Structure 1
Amino acid sequence: MSARHHTSAELGKRHGRHRRVRGIALTAGLALGALVLASGCKPVAGKPAPPIPTLPTSSTIPAPTSAPTSTETTETTTSAPPSTTASSASPTASSTIKPTSAKPTATQPGPPPGNGTAPAPGTVGFRGDRAKLKVVDGPGSAPPGTTWNSGALRFGGGNVTLENVYVKGGIEYNGKGTLTIKNSVIEGNHFSWSPLLGNSGHINVSDTTITYKDSQWPGDKWGNGAIHGDATVTVQRCDISGTPDGIQNGPGNSTIEQNYIHDLLRAGTYPTNTHNDGIQSYGGPNTVIRYNRIDISADGKAYDGTHQNAAVFIMEGGPGETTGLQIVGNYLAGGGYIMRVSATVRGAIITDNKFGTTAGGWGEAFVDKGATIAAWSNNVSSSNKQINKPS
């Protein structure tokens, strides 16, 4: 788990709040002894420079009419990411923290999932021929009104649509409208803090594969999600992998539906290790998480003793209560606790979820004292046993 991306003015204040131990000590009588669920959140950098280009109120990037001519290249640069507006200097990529798991492998496409079902592997994300996508990999291929910033495609302004593109770098949106991405592939690299970074506005992404394959990181304490930031989001039928977290959502008012989140980056040893979450929400109203397959388990275990925090982690994001939360119809696997709900949640609806194995961990769900659940039903374990509502 890691801190969401903030403006530089918020960094010191919010990191102080988030940089705390979110631990749960087991009683001495348990066979596992006194263990801690999770350590503090990872810091992130401020927004990258240079200034954001301004787009018209609405613009659409047309789909290509023919296959691109450029070919995929391997990123070999070892320079640091762009400077930031944070008061501290930009971090450089770590040479000491190494991944502990292999890169995700491609899965043969299957039929798309039916309505109201969690997807099987290979049934969501971009499912077409990548050779027919328009490649965006430098200033010469950047769409009009955007800036290619040393490996990151940057947007400002209003409404923007990207469709049928293969972005070999990160995407950063700083506008006040909606960035819509359809039927595309995004492969982040160390020049952007996340493959898809939304600092403001709304991100609407569907039927897209979002991953990170660069061996270098944006910073030595990198812990961001593949989709990350202070934008509200609608994420549907996407395949997400390769980053420390899957989706990090700041303000709420977001829908995350029928996605496959898997093969997150497990890296480092305690205490400088990733703390993986499939979805990490920082509170806010009306977050809907439904019909997703989120699997952050590894080697047949929910928790490997170091890296996984939770498949779904709803944490305290600030003053006030978290209302309108729905966690419905998901397959959830991996984590010390596979699902954790913070004390500020009020009236949550948690129904019809299937949980994976708890091997190596402590259980399927933990609800912090003070949280209230309006509906809890038909949540079942890996052995199809009903799970009682946590008290």
Structure 2
Amino acid sequence: MKHRRSFPTSRRSKSIAIILSTFVVLSASGGLALQAYAGSNGEKSAARPAETVAKRQPPADWRNRHSPRPTKTPRWPRPSSAKPSSKPPTTPPTSPPATSSTPVPPPAGSGACALPGYPTPRCTGVPAGWKPKATKDGDLTITKAGTVVEDQLVTGSIYVKAPDVTIRNTRVYGTIDNFIGNRVYGHLLIEDTEVVNPPGQEFSKNGQYAFGVADYTCRRCKVINRMEGWRVGAADYAGAGPVLIEDSFAQLAVPPGMCESADPHGDGIQGYGGPTVTIRHNTIDQRLDDCPTAPIFIPDQGNDGATVQDNLLAGGGYTLRLTGGKFPAVTGNKIVQGSFGYGPLEVTCSLIAQWKGNATVTYDWATGKVTGQVKAFDSCR
């Protein structure tokens, strides 16, 4: 299959052994009982050897790697309109990223973003009427620990090469990346910040993720008309740590004609060899992508897993795909009925510890409110 990651030989061997053993078990038992539309990928193997972390180099295609999706072609439902607008100022909370061993608190949204509402363009990214205090033409590379980037317009990308960096109230036309070479520069905090296209450019051919990749918090972040949203990866590399994405909004889109020529199959949040991630109270709208993978895609590709709580999701082949790693909780997620190509879910139930409150719904995009429930997924199993 094209676009596959080249893992070290030891990990590949373990993966093959696990696949073979899983096949034998499934053949004997008649298959794993899953929720409708569920997948069958297995669990990840043993812990990584610490001595290899600093020696390995990232694969050449790591940043622009596309994710696989099923081969049949659905009819992708598209919205009649999805025009973003700006947001009012909010007071940022200061909670640290949650880990898989930490109890998950209720969503931190406030004002118009709080449940039972969901994040919209108005309550994410820079505030309404925002004007930058400084403009950086081209890329901005941060090399000093503890740097605070605030109220800036960066026409290129922000490359974080120092720990404990904060990026706040900032607009970026490129990407924000803290995985440089073979190292993650962590404890990165991103708040009220957006990755959008330059004025006059509705769509982007930039296939790189908007935010990434490890040991970062992204709170009230916004992505508009990009192919890829958040990347969670590089768990095997120095400096990697857990990720928190909350109270954020993404509208993903592919330029007209690109599906036929390049088939980018993008994602809202993609795990790719990633550490544990908490995905809490976000809106991810992939209806403007005619060749998508999924709004949330944590596959069996070396991922540690995720807590997935109280998200509003639309679009994708399967909208919520969770087939790799461990999932302490998958709760309260709402999938917009009729927005997906194949079905709402592709999940491996044996990997999920807690499953409740997930459903397909009808949704008012203007107000950010669920208007009705169509089907409750009472049990993953």
Q: TM-score, normalised by structure 1?
A: 0.62
Matching residue's letter, 1:238: C
Distance 1:283 1:341 in 2: 14
Task: Give 3-state SS (helix, strand or coil) of 1:154's partner.
Answer: strand
Instruction: Measure how far apart 1:237 and its partner are.
Output: 0.8
Measured in 2, the distance between the counterparts of 1:216 and 1:208 equals 19
Tell me which residue corresponds to 1:166: 153
Q: How many residues align?
A: 282
- Distance (Å, rounded) in 1 between the aligned partners of 2:82 and 2:198: 9
Match of residue 118 from structure 1 = 118
Q: Which residue of 2 aligns with 1:134?
A: 133
Match of 1:274 in 2: 264
Task: Give, in whole Å, the separation in 2 of the partners of 1:104 and 1:378.
Answer: 27
In structure 2, relative to structure 1, the CA distance for the partners of 1:169 and 1:10 (3 Å cut) is closer
Q: Is the 8 A contact 1:3 1:224 kept in 2?
A: no
Distance apart, 1:114 and its partner CA: 4.8
Q: CA deviation at 1:277?
A: 0.8
Write the deviation string for residues 227-254 of structure 1: whole angstroms up to 9, x where unpaired.
133x321000112123211111113601
Aligned equivalents of 2:340 and 2:114: distance in 1?
A: 33
Amino acid at match of 1:352: G
In the alignment, structure 2 segments of 5+ residues that lack a partner are 8-54, 90-110, 236-240, 363-372
Tell me the amino acid that sits aligned with residue 187 of structure 1: Y
Deviation, structure 1 residue 311: 0.6
Q: Work out which of the residue numbers 93, 107, 117 in structure 1 matches 2:85.
A: 107
Is residue 283–residue 313 contact of structure 2 (8 Å, CA) maintained in 1? yes
Q: Which TM-score applies when normalising by structure 2? A: 0.64
Shift of 1:266: 4.1
Computed over aligned residues only, the root mean square deviation of the Cα atoms, in angstroms, reads: 3.7
Change (3 A) 1:316 1:158: farther
Measured in 2, the distance between the counterparts of 1:35 and 1:106 equals 29
**Aligned residue for 2:57?**
9
Give 1:136 shift. 1.8
Whichever residue aligns with residue 375 of structure 1, its letter is Q
Is it true that 1:354 corresponds to 2:334 in the alignment? Answer: yes
Match of 2:293 among 266, 291, 309: 309
Q: Choose which of 195, 204, 207 in structure 2 pairs with 1:210.
A: 195
Residue 22 of structure 1, CA deviation: 3.4
Name the SS for the 1:159 alignment partner. Answer: coil
Q: 2: CA distance between counterparts of 1:262 and 1:187?
A: 15
Relative distance call for 1:157 and 1:357 in structure 2 (3 A) is: same
Q: Secondary structure at the match of 2:59?
A: helix
Q: Which moved further from structure 2: 107-116 or 205-214?
A: 107-116
Please name the residue that 1:247 is paired with.
230
SS of the counterpart of 1:113?
helix
Using CA pairs below 8 Å that are at least 6 residues apart, which structure has the higher relative contact order? 2
Deviation readout 1:276-330 (Å, 9 max, x if unpaired): 21111225443100000111113xxxx73xx211010012343xx624x211011
CA shift for structure 1 position 386: 0.2
Q: Which has the higher helix share?
A: 2
Task: Name the amino acid aligned to 1:206.
Answer: E
Q: How does 1:231-246 map to 2 (within 5 A)?
A: 231-246=214-229
- Structure 1: 5+ residue runs without aligned partners? 26-33, 38-99, 139-150, 189-194
2:57 is paired with a residue whose SS is helix
Cα distance in structure 2, aligned partners of 1:352 and 1:9: 38
Percent pairwise identity: 24
What are the within-5 Å matches in structure 2 for residues 57-206 of structure 1? 105-110=83-88, 112-116=111-115, 118-131=118-131, 133-138=132-137, 151-175=138-162, 177-188=163-174, 195-199=175-179, 200-202=184-186, 203-206=188-191
